[in-house]
């Protein structure tokens, strides 16, 4: 069975809708077809949150609850904490020997973090190599990611091929898998949804919080009155309706699009419908999360078992790496 790996930085304690359409939705679907590994990459979190280590434990627990609440099953998925697998750092060192410094400097995600004010540390600079080690350690074949993380998978592909060419075949060449809706716009109309941007709807939001955020959503700025013809394309309200509406919603959404372009329906009415659609989507997620919140020992056990499994896999990979590099002296 082929393998999937994709993780998240525990710099927050709850996923938002953008995380769901960009990655979580695919993970839930693909866990039926692949052997899946999901790390909570706390070492990556330290590159930008090194002064907020006290939050890591609660954030890890929050993200675990998020995974379980959307339907990722511990019987099918190996969940683990990155820092509990020291083999990843050892593999990253070997990969770094094959990595030109100039190549890392061109990584778009690194530039983005520096532009956002992250401190220019060696640890942050090393980020792409460590991520490649995350992917290659369990010898993953497929990596579901958001569009903004695709470059990291491409880097992992390149370094895996370089290692294989230099020393011998050890790593499969991983492929990126982009979500059906790679980037969900924020409620303010910005191209990307994010917690730090204050434009996100979270999987943990209550019905009232969802309603408040939807009613304040950005729509068509040129539309002053409900009778003015509006633009559907690029309008966050309709993007969300397309992303989260069920088959039963399709006819109504199509009707609203036609009415909107003709100036026959107001933003308030469409937003009220979107509020209903989103709360219908979120309600089973809220219920399942509440069930796991009442079983903290079970969540800890899932992480412990997953960490034991990945460490066994990691040790096999490192043994093969050292054998190919002629480092298995005795």
Q: Which residue has the tokens 């039963």?
A: 248
Asked, for residue 232, whether it belongs to a domain, the answer is yes
pLDDT of 246 strictly over 90: yes
How large is the average pLDDT for residues 104-113? 78
User: Do 18 and 104 belong to one domain?
Assistant: yes
User: Do 128 and 33 belong to one domain?
Assistant: yes
Predicted local distance difference test score (pLDDT) of residue 149: 73
pLDDT of 153 strictly over 80: yes
User: Do 109 and 240 belong to one domain?
Assistant: no
- Total domains in the fold of the chain: 2
Predicted local distance difference test score (pLDDT) of residue 265: 96
User: Do 209 and 145 belong to one domain?
Assistant: no
pLDDT tens column, 292-320: 999 999 999 999 999 999 999 999 999 99
User: Do 237 and 176 belong to one domain?
Assistant: no
pLDDT of 112 strictly over 80: no
Lowest mean pLDDT segment, chosen from 66-80, 94-108, 109-123, 236-250: 109-123
User: Do 160 and 57 belong to one domain?
Assistant: yes
Predicted local distance difference test score (pLDDT) of residue 203: 97
How large is the average pLDDT for residues 112-116? 76
Asked, for residue 199, whether it belongs to a domain, the answer is no
How large is the average pLDDT for residues 2-14? 92
Q: How confident is the model at residue 26 (pLDDT cuts 50, 70, 90)?
A: confident
| End-to-end CA gap in the chain | 32
User: Do 261 and 278 belong to one domain?
Assistant: yes
Asked, for residue 226, whether it belongs to a domain, the answer is yes
pLDDT of 277 strictly over 80: yes
Asked, for residue 196, whether it belongs to a domain, the answer is no
pLDDT of 270 strictly over 70: yes
User: Do 157 and 213 belong to one domain?
Assistant: no
Asked, for residue 99, whether it belongs to a domain, the answer is yes
User: Do 96 and 169 belong to one domain?
Assistant: yes
Asked, for residue 198, whether it belongs to a domain, the answer is no
Query: Cα–Cα distance between 31 and 78 in angstroms, integer?
Result: 10
User: Do 211 and 89 belong to one domain?
Assistant: no
User: Do 157 and 282 belong to one domain?
Assistant: no
Query: Cα–Cα distance between 175 and 2 in angstroms, integer?
Result: 12
Q: Does residue 132 or residue 124 have the better pLDDT? A: 132
Q: How confident is the model at residue 179 (pLDDT cuts 50, 70, 90)?
A: low
Predicted local distance difference test score (pLDDT) of residue 98: 95
Q: What percent of the chain has pLDDT over 90?
A: 74
What pTM was estimated for this model as a whole?
Answer: 0.89
Count CA atoms within 13 Å of residue 86 on its CB side: 0
Q: What is the domain extent for residue 77? A: 3-184+296-324
Predicted local distance difference test score (pLDDT) of residue 182: 60
How large is the average pLDDT for residues 269-277? 98
Predicted local distance difference test score (pLDDT) of residue 23: 82
Domain with residue 246: its CATH number is 1.10.240.10
How large is the average pLDDT for residues 14-25? 90
Query: Cα–Cα distance between 107 and 128 in angstroms, integer?
Result: 8
User: Do 87 and 210 belong to one domain?
Assistant: no
Asked, for residue 194, whether it belongs to a domain, the answer is no
Domain with residue 157: its CATH number is 3.40.50.620
Mean pLDDT of the chain: 92
37 bridge partner residues = 5, 78
How large is the average pLDDT for residues 172-186? 82
pLDDT tens column, 62-103: 999 999 999 999 999 999 999 999 999 999 999 999 999 888
Asked, for residue 197, whether it belongs to a domain, the answer is no
Count of other CB atoms within 10 angstroms of residue 2: 13
């Amino acid at each position: 069975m082929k393998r999937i790996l994709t993780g998240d930085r525990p710099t927050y304690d709850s996923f938002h809708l953008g995380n769901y359409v960009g990655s979580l939705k695919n993970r839930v679907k693909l866990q039926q077809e692949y052997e899946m590994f999901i790390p909570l990459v706390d070492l990556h979190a330290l590159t930008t949150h090194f002064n907020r280590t006290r939050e890591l434990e609660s954030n890890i627990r929050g993200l675990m609850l998020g995974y379980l609440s959307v339907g990722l099953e511990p019987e099918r998925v190996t969940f683990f904490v990155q820092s509990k697998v020291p083999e990843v750092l050892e593999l990253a060192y070997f990969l770094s020997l094959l990595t030109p410094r100039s190549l890392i400097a061109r990584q778009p995600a690194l530039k983005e973090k520096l532009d956002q004010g992250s401190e220019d540390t060696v640890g942050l600079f090393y980020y792409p190599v460590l991520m490649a080690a995350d992917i290659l350690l369990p010898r993953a074949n497929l990596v579901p990611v958001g569009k903004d993380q695709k470059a990291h998978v491409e880097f992992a592909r390149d370094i895996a091929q370089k290692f294989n060419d230099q020393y011998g075949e050890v790593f499969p060449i991983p492929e990126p898998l982009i979500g059906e809706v790679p980037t969900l716009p924020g409620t303010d109309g910005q191209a990307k949804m994010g917690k730090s941007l204050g434009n996100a709807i979270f999987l943990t939001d209550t019905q009232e919080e969802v309603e408040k955020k939807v009613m304040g959503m950005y729509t068509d700025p040129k539309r002053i009155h409900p009778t003015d013809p509006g633009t559907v394309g690029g309008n966050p309200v309709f993007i969300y309706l397309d992303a989260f509406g069920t088959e039963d919603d399709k006819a109504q959404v199509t009707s609203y699009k036609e009415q909107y372009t003709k100036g026959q329906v107001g933003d308030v009415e469409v937003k009220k419908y979107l509020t209903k659609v989103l709360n219908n989507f979120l309600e089973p997620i809220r219920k399942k999360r509440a069930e796991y919140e009442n079983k903290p020992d079970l969540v800890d056990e899932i992480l412990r078992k997953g960490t034991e499994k990945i460490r066994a896999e990691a040790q096999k990979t490192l043994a093969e790496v050292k054998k190919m590099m002629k480092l298995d002296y005795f």
